[in-house]
Amino acid sequence: MTETFEFDREAIKTLMEKAAFSLTYEPVQIQLREPKNKSFAGQVFRAKNGLLTIAIKPDLEMEVFYKVFLHEIGHISLGHCNDLLPIDLPTETSLTYLAYGPSLTPTQAERKEHREKPEESGADDFANSIDGVAKEYARLWFQSEDIEARLRALSRITISKGE
Ligand SMILES: [Zn+2]
């Protein structure tokens, strides 16, 4: 792979866990792991220990990695995950929420079908609007819009649940 994909995932993962807590008011664990369904870049499920868990495909470029994270946070923040039952790891039939990565190539039909679900457009809208806030505060506080600055900003701000 190219250098575009070189970034410190473990450091970003730690920042994501802090930002997730600030955004959802609950501990969320991040796992760097392929979602069960290979067409997807991210997946949120409730782990056996009770924690909401976001699995993100590890080999995404950084901006996509971050956007997948925000999409899954959207599902949590909008209450889509409230009734998820604890599972060891997702299987094909587990109830979970997923995100397509823009760098992946689901068919147009698959992508359209997924996007037309209200939960999915809701999670996308949440991701876009939160990213706008993240950029604004990252510029203000850190004079930067890079992903690390955006995550640091998100871990410091309080957002009303469901906004
Ligand atoms: Zn989704």
CA of 123 to the centre of ligand 1 (A): 6
Amino acid of residue 33:
R
* 34: its two tokens: 């392929």
CA of 25 to the centre of ligand 1 (A): 20
pTM of the predicted protein model: 0.86
CA of 71 to the centre of ligand 1 (A): 6
Query: Hey, where are the domains in the chain?
Result: 3-154
52-68 per-position pLDDT tens digit: 999 998 888 899 899 99
CA of 143 to the centre of ligand 1 (A): 31
**Which residues are 44's β-sheet partners?**
54, 97
Q: pLDDT above 70 covers what percent of the chain?
A: 83
Q: Three-state SS string across 90-158, please?
A: CCCCCCCEEECCCCCCCCHHHHHHHHCCHHHHHHHHHHHHHHHHHHHHHHHHHCCCCHHHHHHHHCCCC
CA of 42 to the centre of ligand 1 (A): 8
